[in-house]
């Protein structure tokens, strides 16, 4: 740069110019982004079949990386694997934590195929799901679907961000603290490109949605139990008349991975709590003991 300046050539920062040039993708670029997402579809399919109690987050990352490299990925940048009590608040790293029955677990898979990236969350539970986790997933999905419904030419990033909850509604002091939890971002040669969609910036600095844009929309919602949470993300192509979702692994409802457990009375419910309420006979016995001891059954 200094050598060019010495020769009288004016050097300027071209980052914004290049960012603006990459907002609208060509058909070839969209094809590559679709192919890259397809590889993650396959990785999630393998992961869904493999997850069970005893599998660690590390092992999940290794399995996903192998599937992607086998399919031709040139670079697996990250596989965020977050499970159990690590789900809320949301970190962005994996650990050696081992999956247990009833655990929530979500992943973000980021890799590159011929330079074109993915950013693709999916959320599961292991064996069964709590009522709180089911409710959190439904809320998370509703916010995501509301945003996707607005993706079409002529709409704005402000309109999309406006359907998402305020930071204070899900436990954060302000939008900066909650940044990237209810979020949208362009995707292409970089994982985060224009446009950026967030309540922090989009409500006051809005951009028009145009055909050829490709971006990811991601939502997060913490469960009422205080430790589990849901996280979902879809990648969307803006078409001439609307949009197309190119991330295809199922996510319309909470997926339960692992073996389906059976009791003597039939299949164990896929929605249950880790600690089940006592049966009527147990309650009657406790009440009888309490009565005999002259104390309340709840003492």
For 214-238, the pLDDT digits (tens) are 999 999 999 999 999 999 999 999 9
The answer to whether residue 91 is domain-embedded is yes
Q: Is 244 left (phi over 0), alpha (psi -120 to 50) or beta?
A: beta
Q: What domain range includes position 209? A: 15-267
Query: What is the per-residue pLDDT across 152-162, written as a single tens digit (0 to 9) for each?
Result: 999 999 999 99
User: 37: cis peptide before it, omega within 30°?
Assistant: no
Q: Is the pLDDT of residue 278 over 60?
A: yes
pLDDT value, residue 10: 92
- % of the chain surpassing 90 pLDDT: 88
Could you tell me if residue 5 is inside a domain?
no
CA distances to 107, 217, 247, 265 from 60, in Å: 9, 23, 20, 33
Residue 289: inside a domain: no
Q: Compute the distance between CA of residue 195 and CA of residue 198 in angstroms, rounded to an integer.
A: 10
Q: Which of 20-34, 77-91, 249-263, 278-292 has the lowest mean pLDDT?
A: 278-292
How many domains, in total, are found in the chain?
A: 1
Over the stretch 144-199, which tens digit does the pLDDT of each residue have? Answer: 999 999 999 999 999 999 999 999 999 999 999 999 999 999 999 999 999 999 99
235 in a structural domain:
yes
Does a structural domain hold residue 274?
no
pLDDT at 298: 55
Is 299's pLDDT higher than 60?
A: no
Average pLDDT, the chain: 95
| Residue 42's CATH number | 3.90.230.10
Reference 230, options 146, 165, 164, 144; nearest CA is 144
- Which distant-in-sequence residues (6+ apart) come within 8 Å of 31 by Cβ? none
Q: How confident is the model at residue 296, as a pLDDT?
A: 61
At 89, list the tokens.
């608040």
pLDDT digits (tens, 9 = 90+) for 65-76: 999 999 999 999
Per-residue pLDDT, averaged over 270-296, amounts to 80
Q: Flag whether pLDDT at 48 surpasses 60.
A: yes
**pTM (two decimals):** 0.91
Residue 293 inside a domain? The answer is no
- Whether 53 and 101 have beta carbons less than 8 Å apart is answered as yes
Establish if 38 belongs to a structural domain: yes
pLDDT of residue 131: 97
Domain-located, residue 80:
yes
């Amino acid at each position: 740069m200094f050598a060019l300046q010495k020769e009288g050539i004016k050097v300027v920062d071209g980052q914004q110019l290049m960012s603006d040039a990459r907002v609208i993708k060509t058909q070839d670029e969209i094809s590559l982004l679709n192919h890259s997402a397809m590889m993650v579809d396959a990785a999630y399919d393998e992961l869904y079949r493999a997850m069970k109690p005893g599998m660690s987050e590390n092992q999940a990352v290794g399995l996903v990386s192998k599937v992607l490299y086998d399919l031709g990925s040139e670079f697996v940048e990250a596989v965020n694997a977050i499970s159990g009590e690590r789900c809320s608040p949301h970190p962005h790293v994996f650990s050696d934590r081992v999956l247990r029955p009833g655990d929530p677990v979500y992943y973000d898979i980021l890799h590159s195929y011929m330079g074109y990236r993915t950013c693709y969350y999916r959320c599961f539970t292991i064996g069964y799901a709590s009522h709180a986790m089911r409710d959190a997933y439904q809320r998370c999905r509703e916010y995501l679907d509301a945003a996707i419904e607005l993706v079409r030419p002529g709409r704005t990033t402000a309109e999309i961000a406006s359907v998402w909850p305020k930071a204070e509604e899900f436990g954060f002091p302000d939008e900066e603290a909650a940044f990237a939890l209810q979020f949208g971002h362009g995707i292409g040669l970089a994982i985060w490109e224009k446009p950026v969609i967030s309540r922090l910036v989009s409500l006051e600095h809005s951009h028009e949605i145009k055909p050829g844009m490709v971006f990811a929309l991601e939502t997060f919602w913490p469960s009422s139990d205080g430790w589990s949470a849901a996280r979902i993300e879809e990648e969307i192509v803006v078409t001439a008349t609307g949009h197309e979702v190119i991330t295809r692994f199922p996510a319309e409802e909470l997926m339960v991975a692992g073996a389906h457990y059976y009791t003597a009375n039939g299949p164990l419910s896929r929605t249950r709590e880790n600690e089940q309420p006592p049966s009527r006979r147990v309650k009657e016995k406790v009440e009888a003991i309490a009565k005999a001891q002259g104390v309340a059954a709840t003492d």
